[in-house]
Amino acid sequence: MIDEILKARAFIPRPLYTEKIKPFIDKEIIKVITGQRRVGKSYILFQLIKDIREANPSANIIYISKELQPHQHITDDGIFYQYVKDLLKPDAKNYLFVDEIQEIKDFEKTLRSLLAENCCDIFCSGSNANMLSGELATFLAGRYIEFKVHSLGYEEFMRFLSLENSVQTLNKYLTIGGMPYMHVIGTEEFAAFEYLRNVYSTILLKDVVARENIRNVTFLENLVEFLADNVGNLFSANNIAKYLKSQYSTVSTQAVLNYLKPLSNAYFVHKVQRYDISGLKIFEVGEKYYFEDLGLRNCIRGFDTRKDIHKVMENAVYLHLVQLGYKVYVGQQASTEIDFVAEKDGQTVYVQVCYMLYDESTIQREFGNLLKIDDNYPKYVVTMDEYSAGSYSGILQLHLKDFLMKRFF
C-alpha cells in the first residue's frame, strides 16, 4: 500500500525535521512525531519511508494510517499487535510507521511489546499531546524520542510556494499562514480561508470537542475568539473574569482554564509562561497564548492590519523560535517585560517586537528594555520599518522578513 501512496502523492521535503530524525533510524528507540493536525506529519513519515527505501530496497515497510479505510478496523492494541505481527518478514529489516496513533486504544501496550521484541524499527505520529505524553511516559519512559512538527516557517512558506523574500510575500504569510497544503490551495485569500475554516472545524470538533467530551461548544468557540483577539496579552484570572462578565457567562474561571488545556493538547494554541530574567525562575500565573498557525488565527477573527499587525508579528516571531527548537518564555525583569526569551543548548536569545519605531521614546523603550539585561547573549528588536535595520548599542534591529530567515547560532 505505501508504495502506491508514495507514487500518488508528490511531497516537498522538510529537512528542518527529517534531518533531526534520520540519525535515529535503525536505533532501538521509538520515534514519535507530534503536532497539530494538517501540519505535515504524514508527509514527513513519507519522506522517511522514501529515504529508507532508497538506502535499503529490500526493507519491509508496514504502514498504518487511521485516516485510511483499510485501517479503520485497527481500533485497539490487540488488533494492532496482531496486524503488525502478521506483516513482519523474518528475512528483512522491518519498519513500522503509524500515522495518528492516538486513534488506537491502548496503542502504547503494542509499542512496548514490539520494542521489547526488537522486531521492527518504530515511527509514529500523533495530534494529541496529553495522550502521547501520558501514555508513552507511563509505559515507555526513556524508550522514545519526540520530534515536534509545526506549520511552515516563513522560509519554508517561500520554498513551498516558490516566492521571493519581500514585504509582499511576508504580508501574504502573515495573512494566510503556513499550513503546508497551501502549496496546492494557492495564495488567493478566499480559497485559502475556505480551506482554513475546514481545518479549524476539524481540529475543534475532532481533536478537542469529541476527544475531551466538551459539552459547551458555543463557549469553547467564544473562548477561541477571545484568544485570537488577545494574542500576546497576558492571560490572567482577572481578564478571564472580565471576559466572562462581558459574555454574561456563568462558567467559572477554573472551567475556562480547563477549556484551554485541550486546545493546547491539540497543538492548536501554545501557552507561553513568564520567566523572571533576574531571578531565573518561572512564574506560575499570568501567561500568553499564541496560535500554531497564523492563517488559522486569522480565519477565526479576520486580519485587520491596523488592529492586529502587532499581534500577528509577535505570533510569527514566536513560531519562528519554536520551529528552530527553542524553548520560549515571556521575559520579566522587575517592571520591564521582554517579549521573548528563547533558550536552546545553553544559549539564549532576547527579542522585542515593535511594529514601527515611530519616535525617540519608542526607540528608548524597546532598546532600553533589552539594555537592562546584563549579559552578552544576542538581543534583537524586530520591526516592520523598511529602511531602519542596524545596530543600537550592540542590539540589532531587523525587519520581520529578515528575522524570520535567521538561524542564530
Measured between alpha carbons, how far is 99 from 41 in angstroms, rounded to an integer?
8
- pTM attached to this predicted model: 0.94
What pLDDT is stored for residue 227 in this prediction? Answer: 93
Q: Which pLDDT score is estimated for 107? A: 94
- Domains of the chain, each with CATH number or no CATH: 2-148 (3.40.50.300), 154-403 (no CATH)
Q: Residue 55: what residue type?
A: A
pLDDT of residue 283: 55
Question: How deeply is 61 buried, as exposed, middle or buried, from its count of CB atoms within 10 A (0-12, 13-18, 19+)?
Answer: buried
Sign of torsion over alpha carbons 103, 126, 31, 58:
positive
CA distance 86 to 37: 29
Per-residue pLDDT at 302: 86
**What crossing angle do the helices spanning 129-139 and 253-265 adopt, rounded to 10°?**
70
Average pLDDT of each block of 10 consecutive residues along the chain (409 residues)? 78 94 97 95 96 96 94 97 98 97 93 96 92 78 92 97 97 97 96 97 93 89 92 80 76 81 94 81 73 97 88 98 96 88 94 92 91 92 85 92 86
At residue 133, the pLDDT reads 74
Q: Would you say 112 and 140 are in contact if contact means Cβ atoms under 8 Å apart?
A: yes
Which residue type is seen at 240? I
CA 314 to chain centre: 15
Distance CA 18, CA 25 (A): 11
Let me know: does 41 contact 99? Beta carbons within 8 Å: yes
